[in-house]
Amino acid sequence: MTNADVARAFDEIADLLEIKGEDGFRVNSYRRVARTVGDLAENIVDIAARGELNTLAGVGKSSAGKIQELLDTGKLAQRDELTREVPATLLNLLDIPGVGPKKIAVFWKELGVTGIDDLKSAIADDRLKGLKGFGPKSIAQMQRGIEFRARSAGRVRLGDVWNVAAELREAVGAMSGVKRVESAGSLRRARETVGDLDLLCIADDGAAIVQRFTQLPGVTEVLAAGATKGSVHYEYRAGRSIQVDLRVVPAESFGAAWQYFTGSKEHNVRLRERAVKRGWSLNEYGLTEGDDVIASASEEDIYAALELPWIPPELREDRGEFELDNPAGDLIELSHIRTDLHLHTPASDGRSSIAEFAAAAQQRGLKLICITDHSKSSTIANGLDEERLYEHIQDVRGAAREIKGIKIWIGTEVDILADGSLDYADDVLAELDWVVASIHSGMGQDVEANTRRTLAAIENPYVNCIGHPSGRLINEREAMALDVETICHAAAETGTALEINANYYRLDLKDQHARLARDLGVTISINTDAHDTEQLDQMHFGVRTARRAGLRRADVLNTWTPKQIADFVARKRG
């Protein structure tokens, strides 16, 4: 039972209660438990084993009992009771944009709708007509939402739409009369997945800009087009669409709007609470006292008026950012990165040569790279046996002598095998400058087995870094069961780095685990795992994940000098 499983169960209970018509306080108490558990860096099973469930924010005696019941039995009696009253299949309707528990309650109670197919039939048969709150426009929007759900199913990886957002900002910024355009929402906060894209702009003629926005190439459907807001479905890849909202806001309130639409919801609630305590109001138009505007033009003004330092967007998740004296101070930035220690060439499954990587890395300001091709057990990745590895060592050493202006190390991404042993013997690893150890197979083992094999690698004196520790692929493969806290303790004790793999399919360690690792004294290494030179540009995704974790420059090994990194390696080998 994972944290996500427990959080999902409590969210489902909240949804079922809201569909049933229970009061909002009770519903929100379950949602708060779901969020608390979902945000945990430590496994909920371990917290329960220590008898500390009721120490978690929002988890009282009753909720702690339900969590324990779920861990012990794999189910909740309350959920089972609710689904005898409210069909569980109604929960699937929540995936339709614009459909919430209150609308679902009407479908169910008035029409007997219990799932997607029933709703499709009700729309096709015109049975929604006449229901309170369901006019032709809302019914048509719902129909489009069902079709959109089928095309876009779920949240999109950050990297899939990062450049799309940049292109849209450029397109809007090029329109006559537009003075400024920015991204907001979860993309600005650099969440690993986003549900939609939010753009804000300052312009002379809002209606004209919105109209031009809705006519951009790539727009497949216009959902709304008014004087200050346009909303469209935008095809970011063949057959895949995402909703994009553009808001035109006055320059004098741009800061308030940017802060509000960046979120997160939880962060904004905390800000509003601070405003209310002072007798003020805070919304997308500004921070006000009655009719008097206290602050609105910039985010910095908003935070300063509330006696807070400006908080970087990546930290705005209500995870302790309000308690920081200087949240932006020395927070890791892309410009701090000087090394990339996980790269693949055609010697295994890469596509760019040593020389190409060296040239591209220098262009990006790097001082050191390490070539880490796969070991022999990664047959699908053309992994190197010992003979090929020794030849590869000579090739990389030769390139390092010839290429000036950047240090080039030879390393490996060595497989951690099912029993915890490594794909190469220690005498082979001793020939290398840097060793990344990763699990690529057998991830379906239980938490004890996965943790044991990772710990065995950490204990090896030649392993310098654990690569993509959880093995997850965002939206494709769940993280393997792993005792992250135990691994962090071992990594800190042995002087082994844990990786934030910057590939946007991975972002592994994820932000909560990276924060836990830092707090326990682990050194973090951010690497691209690049297989060609273009993928070096994904480093910024890893940096943004580190920023969400609150990592400072000194926490990240890639900001150190080559000499400092060499000393880090030597200390463990010594």
CATH of the domain at 472: 3.20.20.140
Please identify which residue in the block is written with the tokens 């946007």: 504
What residue numbers bound the domain in which 177 lies? 156-248
562 and 439 within one domain: yes
Q: Residue 286 is part of a domain; what is its CATH number?
A: 3.30.210.10
Q: What is the pLDDT of residue 57?
A: 84
Strand partners, 339: 368
Distance separating alpha carbons of residues 161 and 195, to the nearest angstrom: 10
Q: How far is CA 285 from the centre of its chain?
A: 29
Considering the domain architecture, whether residues 145 and 168 belong to the same structural domain is answered as: no
Residue 255 forms part of a structural domain: no
Last residue of a domain, one of 152, 183, 218: 152
- Is residue 241 located within the same domain as residue 390? no
Q: Verify that 176 and 195 share a domain, yes or no.
A: yes
Please indicate, yes or no, if residue 196 is contained in any of the structural domains.
yes
In a shared domain, residues 475 and 518: yes
pLDDT of residue 380: 87
Residue 15 lies in a domain: yes
Residues 365 and 448 in one domain: yes
pLDDT reported for residue 216: 97
Measured in residues, the chain has a length of: 574
Is 521 found in the same domain as 439?
Answer: yes
The residue from 218, 248, 278 where one domain ends is: 248
Q: Which of 353, 372, 369 is nearest to 406 (CA)?
A: 369
Scored b (16 or more CB within 10 A) or e, 43-79 reads bbbebbeeeebeebeebeeebbebbeebbeeeebebb
Q: Is residue 230 part of a domain?
A: yes
Q: Do residues 315 and 387 share a domain?
A: no
**pTM exceeding the 0.75 threshold for the entire prediction:** yes
- What is the structure's pLDDT at 234? 95
Asked if residue 186 and residue 81 are part of one domain, the reply reads no
- Tell whether 260 is covered by a domain: no
pLDDT for 95 = 76
Query: Is 237 within a domain?
Result: yes
Structural Rg of the chain based on CA atoms:
26
The DSSP code sequence of 122-152 is: HHHTTTTTTSTT--HHHHHHHHHHHHHHHHH
> How many domains does the chain fold into?
4
Both 503 and 383 in one domain: the answer is yes
Which residues, given as ranges, of the chain have pLDDT below 70? 148-154
Residues 420 and 291 in one domain: no
CATH number of the domain within which 178 lies:
3.30.460.10
Model pLDDT, residue 153: 58
Say if residue 140 is in the same domain as residue 207: no
User: Which CATH number do you get for residue 58?
Assistant: 1.10.150.110
| Residue 261 lies inside a defined structural domain of this protein | no
For residue 262, tell me if it sits in a domain: no
In the listed set 152, 167, 199, which residue is the last one of a domain according to the structure?
A: 152
pLDDT of residue 155: 85
Residue 41 has a pLDDT of 75
